[in-house]
Amino acid sequence: MAADGNKRKRPNILVTGTPGTGKTTTSSALAEATNLRHINIGDLVKEKNLHDGWDDDLQCHIINEDLVCDELEDVMEEGGNIVDYHGCDFFPERWFDLVVVLQTDNTVLYDRLSKRGYEGAKLSNNIECEIFQVLLEEAKESYSEDIVKALKSNNIDDITRNVSSLTDWIRSWPPTS
Ligand code: DAT
């Protein structure tokens, strides 16, 4: 458990994974089921201008990690947050009580990202990221391994099952032992 975990009335969960693995879908369903606050980092960065401009090659904002962490410090200390982002190594370790890494089979992910309009290097980089389990490795390096949980996200049944087991976990907070 994270060092500060016991002080929080409600836990903080990080939902991470390669783009397209279902972070936003899962996080918003989980927020609805539990009344936790869903924080989509990509949206927050755009909304509050927490970036250093636009990366033409990667076709995304260049996130300013320090500004993001400053922006979220108070709300994370309070607890009860589901943070949704395709990266996990720059958040303070103490923020999270559970780190969920969503995973999707390559062929399924390829179709999802193509539908989203990804092509060329952006598409192949993300597929490679999933093949090499980059986010799972990043999560294990950044957090205690016993709070990192990899969950399959190939179909709607997986989402239902994941949301249900995570809801149970949140409802049983704080842990008794
Ligand atoms: P992310 O936030 O990881 O980028 P998303 O939640 O926006 O992913 O989902 C991308 C698209 O794929 C969206 O159209 C919903 C669909 N999708 C995601 N996870 C799925 C799943 N487990 N089963 C079926 N469709 C899924």
Average pLDDT for 99-124: 97
Answer whether residue 57 is part of any domain: yes
94: containing domain: 5-170
Q: Is the pLDDT of residue 5 over 70?
A: no
Report the separation in Å between the CA atom of 43 and the middle of ligand 1, taken as the mean of its atom positions: 16
How many Å apart are CA 90 and CA 118, to the nearest integer?
Answer: 25
> What are the helix (H) ranges across the chain?
23-34, 41-47, 65-78, 106-115, 120-131, 134-142, 156-171
Q: What is the CATH number of the domain that holds 75?
A: 3.40.50.300
Answer whether residue 98 is part of any domain: yes
Helix (H) or strand (E) holding 96: none
Answer whether residue 175 is part of any domain: no
Beta bridge partners of 100: 15, 149
Per-residue pLDDT band for 166 (boundaries 50, 70, 90) equals: very high
Q: For residue 22, give Cα distances in angstroms to 1, 74, 81, 107, 122.
A: 25, 27, 17, 15, 18
> What are the helix (H) ranges across 48-133?
65-78, 106-115, 120-131
Average pLDDT for 146-154: 98
Average pLDDT for 88-102: 98
Q: Which two tokens stand for residue 1?
A: 């458990």
Answer whether residue 28 is part of any domain: yes
Answer whether residue 176 is part of any domain: no
Average pLDDT for 97-102: 98
ipTM: 0.99
Q: Is the pLDDT of residue 1 over 60?
A: no
- Residue entry with tokens 């250093």: 52
For the chain, how many helices (H) and strands (E)? 7, 7
- Let me know if 2 is exposed, middle or buried by CB neighbors in 10 A (0-12, 13-18, 19+): buried
Report the separation in Å between the CA atom of 154 and the middle of ligand 1, taken as the mean of its atom positions: 9
Q: Which two tokens stand for residue 149?
A: 């949980």
Q: What is the pLDDT of residue 7?
A: 77
User: Regarding predicted confidence, which is higher, 7 or 63?
Assistant: 63
How many domains does the structure of the chain reveal? 1
Answer whether residue 128 is part of any domain: yes
Could you list the residues known to form a binding site for ATP, using ranges: 20, 22-25, 116
- Give the binding-site residues of ligand 1, using a 6 Å CB cut-off: 17, 19-25, 112, 153-156, 158-159
Q: Is the pLDDT of residue 15 over 90?
A: yes
35-92 tens-digit pLDDT: 999 999 999 999 999 999 999 887 789 999 999 999 999 999 999 999 999 999 999 9
Answer whether residue 177 is part of any domain: no
* Interacting residues of 9 by C-beta distance below 8 A, sequence separation 6+: 79, 80, 174
Per-residue pLDDT band for 176 (boundaries 50, 70, 90) equals: confident
Answer whether residue 154 is part of any domain: yes
